């Protein structure tokens, strides 16, 4: 296939201000975020309607597009509030809304507000795409179950923008429309409240014989995470308009690393410098942040039994440990003053700084001053100064990055 000329949009999750800044700083073209209601990540920190002006202003300043998620099912008593949110989003110049409930789509159409149809709608063919186009949609987020070949066929039959996931958590249910959490705990995944019972290990009891057994050790309802870095060139060439990273409930460093990696991969492709070696290097970086192991999802085939996570939690090759906070930052010499409140650090340790306005900063200690003396290590209670070119702020949290063998 002929190399495309326009880069696909790289869309990043923003579960709070720290994640939003991390996404923007590391090269996202767009961010998607939710308010405290009517979005599929209700348990994320999220934002309020009152914060919309600040969010839009910050993103416009950095030439980043804003997508508001209103992608849950909507009940009758919520229609008035839904309309108020859409009006506020339009007044504050949010660029698009992502939705699945037809009520949201209809209100967006009435207010001439551009909207995208969420993956929750399971669009997996061009005829379905055309239905939403007639309703006024400008983009469809394809079903997770679409293969790469199916995406190529849909691309040739619709002029709607196509968005697809390239990285992040996968759900055992079709396009994430799961009822298990609601059935077991009264917390609906389709209302953004999922408690992820699929990620657990289960014991099956047979009352006829009075015995039970553990259902495997591979967590058979917990898929590995989607990762497309090794075939990102094929996705680019398929004509997908927007590459979406999942993860509004994950950490700021996850957002920073995944956005940085996919930004580099896309840029390498268009510079004609993307090699298998670079892909492997980028994959190694992705392995350092939260993941359940990696899978190609449905892009090439239906996932097999080998595509289950096998663990309850992360397989990341690093973990962060809180060690202290920033007391001050001196811009002229570019020096941070840090109080160690826990643990111990040494020269050549990797450090992570996270703050609401700072975002995510990672660096390696090359030299440090401990209690006014040059030292090779520091412990709890020590005050240290380190030269860091990136602006830090008071009370930013400081973490030691530990490498897991």
Burial 258-276 (b: 16+ CB within 10 A, else e): bbbbbbbbbebbeeeebee
CB-based contact 163:139 (threshold 8 Å) = yes
User: Other CB atoms closer than 10 Å to residue 325's CB: what's the count?
Assistant: 16
Among candidates 178, 176, 146, which has minimal Cα distance to 162? 146
> Which domains are seen in the chain, by residue range?
9-175+222-307 (3.20.20.70), 176-214 (no CATH), 318-403 (2.40.30.10)
pLDDT at 367: 95
**Tokens standing for residue 226:** 């989607």
**What CA–CA distance (Å, rounded) separates 405 from 222?**
24
Q: What is the pLDDT along the chain (405 residues), one digit of tens a residue?
A: 456 779 999 999 999 999 999 999 999 999 999 998 887 666 667 899 999 999 999 999 999 999 999 998 899 999 999 999 999 999 999 999 999 999 999 999 999 999 999 998 999 999 999 999 999 999 999 999 999 999 999 999 999 999 999 999 887 766 667 777 776 777 776 666 777 777 777 777 778 888 776 665 667 777 899 999 999 999 999 999 999 999 998 999 999 999 999 999 999 999 999 999 999 999 999 999 999 999 999 999 888 777 777 777 899 999 999 999 999 999 999 999 999 999 999 999 999 999 999 999 999 999 999 988 999 999 999 999 999 999 999 999 999 999 986
**What CA–CA distance (Å, rounded) separates 165 from 143?**
9
pLDDT at 1: 44
pTM (two decimals): 0.90
pLDDT at 213: 65
Residues in the chain: 405
Could you tell me which residues are beta bridge partners of residue 387?
335
**What CA–CA distance (Å, rounded) separates 102 from 111?**
14
CB-based contact 110:80 (threshold 8 Å) = no
């Amino acid at each position: 296939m002929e190399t495309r000329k326009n880069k696909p949009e790289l869309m990043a999750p923003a579960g709070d201000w720290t994640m939003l800044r991390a996404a923007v700083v590391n090269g996202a073209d767009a961010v998607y975020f939710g308010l405290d209601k009517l979005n599929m990540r209700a348990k994320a920190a999220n934002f309020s309607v009152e914060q919309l002006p600040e969010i839009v202003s910050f993103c416009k300043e950095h030439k980043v597009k804003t997508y508001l998620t209103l992608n849950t099912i909507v009940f009758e008593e919520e229609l008035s509030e839904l309309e108020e949110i859409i009006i506020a989003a339009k007044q504050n110049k949010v660029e698009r809304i992502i939705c699945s409930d037809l009520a949201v789509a209809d209100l967006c159409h009435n207010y001439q507000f551009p909207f995208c149809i969420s993956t929750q709608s399971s669009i997996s063919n061009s005829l379905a795409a055309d239905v939403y186009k007639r309703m006024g949609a400008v983009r469809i987020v394809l079903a997770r179950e679409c293969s790469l070949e199916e995406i190529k066929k849909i691309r040739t039959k619709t002029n709607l923008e196509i968005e697809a996931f390239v990285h992040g958590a996968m759900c055992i249910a079709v396009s994430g429309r799961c009822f298990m959490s609601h059935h077991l705990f009264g917390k609906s995944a389709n209302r953004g409240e999922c408690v992820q019972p699929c990620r657990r290990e289960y014991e099956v009891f047979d009352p006829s014989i009075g015995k039970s057994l553990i259902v495997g050790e591979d967590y058979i309802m917990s898929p590995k995470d989607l990762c497309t870095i090794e075939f990102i060139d094929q996705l680019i060439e398929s004509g997908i308009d927007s590459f979406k990273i999942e993860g509004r409930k994950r950490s700021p460093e996850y957002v920073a690393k995944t956005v940085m990696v996919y930004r580099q991969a896309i840029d390498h492709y268009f510079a004609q410098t993307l090699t298998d070696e670079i892909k492997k290097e980028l994959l190694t970086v992705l392995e350092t942040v939260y993941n359940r192991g990696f899978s190609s999802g449905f892009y090439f085939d239906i996932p097999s039994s080998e595509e289950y996570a096998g663990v309850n939690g992360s397989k990341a090759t690093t973990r962060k440990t809180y060690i202290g906070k920033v007391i001050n930052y001196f811009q002229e010499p570019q020096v941070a003053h840090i109080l160690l409140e826990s643990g111990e650090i040494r020269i050549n340790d990797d450090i992570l700084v996270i703050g609401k306005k700072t975002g995510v900063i990672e660096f390696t200690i090359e030299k440090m001053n401990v209690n006014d003396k040059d030292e090779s290590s520091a412990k709890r209670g020590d005050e240290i100064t380190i030269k860091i070119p990136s602006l830090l702020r008071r009370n930013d949290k400081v973490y030691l990055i530990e490498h897991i063998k």
